[in-house]
Chains A and B, each alone.
Chain A
Amino acid sequence: MYDIIKHRRLYYILSTLIVVPGVLIMLYSMLTIGSPFRLAIDFTGGSLWELRFSEPVAPGDMVNFFHDQGIADANVHTIGDENTLVIRTKEITPDQKAELMSAMDKQFGHPEELQFRAVGPTVGKEVTRTALIAVFMASLVILGFIIYAFRQVKHPVRYGIAAIIAMIHDVLVAAAFFSLMGMIAGWEVDTLFLTALLTVIGFSVQDTIVVFDRIRENSRRRKGESFEVIANRSLLETVQRSVATQINAMFVMIALLLFGGVTIRQFIATMFVGMLSGTYSSIFIATPLLVSWQNGEGIFGKFGKNKKNQPGKIVTA
């Protein structure tokens, strides 16, 4: 039987290597621009520009135009008819506006300017705060639920905590990915990002519980084996299912990334990373944590009372 659990220190190190730099990036961002991510117009507000062209202009083309001009996130849609566009961006200075206008003239023909003004944010700080509180409450409920559902196993609290740690891990990985892309490619956080995080949370917990459920069942059925062996066995038994589910999810997301619209790309990419992490964390983080806890390794040494349960030891009467 292949031993996955044996290499758990490797997995912990790998995760640390991914998560810690991610957190550092977010901290750095926090210090330099005041928030862990770059914020999109949804959060900051900016300028609203309404232009009428002599011919239809596709919003996607305009978005690319702004991108080429150095403005990463322009929100463009038609209004009234296909020749008229409403463009939302961050604050544009009068100089920038003049530059943009002349470049726009060359590419799309001279437009009639119908409106240009400042607009406020659509997602206030309260919404973000609310979403965060909601997630926190949800985590508590998940913890409680797992403790209840696994009450017949020894130390159900550990399962709950391990699942939550895996979930936080996945959120941090997705957030770190986005923060990194923010620095490299200028990605900005909008309401879709919140949605992506929520999706990752839902998926992560669900995936972890499936693995734990198998551990629970095997604990019952194979009383002779040590916990480490049970955990390992459970992982091997569920790995095929985990991979199949992950592949299926990826099919949809890859299709969306390749063929889908430009505006949801960041959203899908973040979900992709988060879900991958979700599957990874259920197998390589949550379960090994249970084993480490059981064995009283590392920081669990202070809390774990079961130092007697070392793998491989036979206790004679």
Chain B
Amino acid sequence: MQSRNNLTLFILIILVALATYIALPIEHFDLFKSIFAPGQEGELAMTLRQGLDLQGGTQIQLEPDLPTGEKATEEQLNLARAIIERRVNGLGVNESLVQTGKDRIIVALPGVKNSDAAIDTLRGTGQLEFVDLGDNPLRLGAGAKINTTNGTVEDAVTEQVFKTVMTGDKLKNVDVRRDQSTQEPYIAFELTKEGSEIFGKYSGENVGKILAIVMDHVILSAPRINSQIRDAGIITGKFTLDEAQNLAIQMKYGALPVPLKVVDVRTVGPSLGEDSVRRSLLAGTIGVIVVLLFMLAFYRLPGFLADLALLSFVAFNVSLYKLIPVVLTLPGIAGFLLTTGTAVDANILIFERMREELRAGRSLSSAIEAGFSRAWTSILDSNLSTILTGLILLYFGSNFGASVVQGFAITLIIGVLVSMFTAVFATRTFMRFVIYTFGDTLKDKLSWFSV
């Protein structure tokens, strides 16, 4: 038993050392980063990512790009806002903020220093149009830039201006499906009521003609109209699954009701305030130190071991945030603090049990084992319920855009899992080690266990 525990202790120490190294705010060397954080690239790899409320970032302002005199309606602006938000999240920049102002949209991206890549994606947020190519004598196909009645573009393939039949906001749904017999992927789309009217009329009068699906004045696809389309239609055309999915995504998310242009790019400070964040972090650290001291004073020797376990807990959590990665916001930190309380609580449960067993007259080593096994059902049940809550919050948060809930749920789930791990492995292993090694001398010093 002792040798197995020693092995566990050894492994634990290595894990803690590794976690601590990862968690430290220093620059790690590249090979290390590629082994442990393989998915992450660039300067952000293996750093603690913070949300807008903590670190600030880049603010980009977009304005509707309409001919002078025309204005976007509030509805269009709100719709554009929602679409851009999804796009920005699709960029992988979590915890961004997208807000409408009077006649403009403000996008705030946390921590993005090199905003060019982000801007390019946002700048490319163009408009989706269905354009009448007639018989298409020029055989224009995917990739060709054209002028439309919705707007002209500089390097169009031809001077001719094509008529825009319908804009992308009339799309209700876009899906990729497979043909039953040929297994070929195709795109199925549904139109809104307004769209059905426009499209029904147009397609009815233009069977056999070419209709181009155009994004940002670039043709995505130019299929032939085979029959009248009213509220739902399909687009076929020898797509690979990837091509079909990409096209569907562009149609879904690119369907801005108005074209937008970038008018301003700037860096912003953290929304909670620079000094506020700094002071809160400092205060939090003070609080944690007081907890460590309290555990030491109240539970003495086991308290000291619990402190070691708690420090390991923090190291594991922070290193996980860096590896996964998790973008930290204030709600996320709240979740983390709650789980720190849980981790402390787990240790307290174990120690109170141990005390009971010792008072009842058990020997040190059996008291420890009994303490753990008795406390475990409490720890397991209470933590499981928290994890279940966290999972539900996570599901809702990510599917319905409530990023507050999401950030909190992620750190909550991670923290609870880690707290169970450290309670079982760290605290127990440390205690066993101490008992096995120093058991004889400690037998008479029960006061060290605060009995």
In the complex, are the beta carbons of A194 and B59 less than 8 A apart?
no
In the complex, are the beta carbons of A264 and B388 less than 8 A apart?
no
Q: How far is the CA of A126 from the CA of B298 in the complex (A)?
A: 47
Q: Which residues of A contact B335 (CB under 8 A)?
A: 199
In the complex, are the beta carbons of A191 and B404 less than 8 A apart?
yes
Interface residues of A, dominant DSSP? helix
- Chain A residue with the shortest CB-CB distance to B264: A115
Q: What's the minimum C-beta distance from A208 to chain B, rounded to whole angstroms? A: 8
Given A60-B276, A206-B383, A259 and B331 contact (CB-CB distance below 8 Å): no
Q: Which residues of A contact B385 (CB under 8 A)?
A: 142, 145-146, 149, 205-206, 209
- Number of B interface residues in the complex (CB < 8 A): 75
Q: What's the minimum C-beta distance from B370 to chain A, rounded to whole angstroms? A: 13
Q: Which residues of B contact A142 (CB under 8 A)?
A: 385, 388-389
Q: Does B39 contact A (CB under 8 A)?
A: no
Mark each residue of chain A from 244 to 259: 1 if its CB lies under 8 Å from any CB of chain B, else 0. 1101110111111011
Q: How far is the CA of A217 from the CA of B402 in the complex (A)?
A: 40
Q: Which residues of B contact A60 (CB under 8 A)?
A: 273, 275-276
Q: How far is the CA of A78 from the CA of B275 in the complex (A)?
A: 11
Q: Which residues of B contact A59 (CB under 8 A)?
A: 269, 273-276
In the complex, are the beta carbons of A259 and B279 less than 8 A apart?
yes
In the complex, are the beta carbons of B405 and A264 less than 8 A apart?
no
Q: How far is the CA of A262 from the CA of B352 in the complex (A)?
A: 37
Given A133-B396, A251-B294, A260-B280, A120 and B99 contact (CB-CB distance below 8 Å): yes
In the complex, are the beta carbons of B298 and A195 less than 8 A apart?
no
- Which chain A residues in 109-146 approach chain B with CB under 8 Å? 117-120, 122-123, 126-127, 130-131, 133-135, 137-138, 141-142, 145-146
Q: Which of B119-127, B145-153, B311-319, B340-348 forms contacts with chain A?
A: B340-348
Q: Does B143 contact A (CB under 8 A)?
A: no
In the complex, are the beta carbons of B377 and A213 less than 8 A apart?
yes
- B interface vs A, CB < 8 Å? 56, 59, 78, 81, 97, 99-102, 106, 266-280, 282-284, 286-288, 290-291, 294-295, 298, 330-331, 334-335, 337-338, 340-342, 344-345, 348-349, 352, 356, 374, 377-378, 381-386, 388-390, 392-393, 395-397, 400-402, 404-405, 408, 412
Q: How far is the CA of A192 from the CA of B280 in the complex (A)?
A: 15
In the complex, are the beta carbons of A251 and B291 less than 8 A apart?
yes
Q: How far is the CA of A209 from the CA of B268 in the complex (A)?
A: 44
Which residue from A130, A251, A263, A267 sits with its C-beta under 8 Å from B402? A130
Q: What's the minimum C-beta distance from A70 to chain B, rounded to whole angstroms? A: 21
Q: Does A304 contact B (CB under 8 A)?
A: no
Q: How far is the CA of A145 from the CA of B381 in the complex (A)?
A: 9
In the complex, are the beta carbons of A210 and B56 less than 8 A apart?
no
Number of A-B contacts (CB under 8 A): 226
Q: Which residues of B contact A194 (CB under 8 A)?
A: 404-405
- A sample of 8 cross-chain residue pairs with beta-carbon separation below 8 angstroms, ordered by A number, consists of A127-B401, A195-B331, A202-B390, A206-B386, A245-B345, A251-B291, A255-B287, A267-B334
Q: What's the minimum C-beta distance from A163 to chain B, rounded to whole angstroms? A: 9
In the complex, are the beta carbons of A79 and B282 less than 8 A apart?
no
Q: A77-B272, A120-B81 are in contact. List 8 more A-B contacts (CB 8 A).
A: A79-B269, A86-B268, A134-B393, A205-B382, A206-B342, A248-B341, A259-B279, A267-B330
In the complex, are the beta carbons of A195 and B408 less than 8 A apart?
yes
- Chain A residue with the shortest CB-CB distance to B344: A248
Q: How far is the CA of A126 from the CA of B405 in the complex (A)?
A: 13
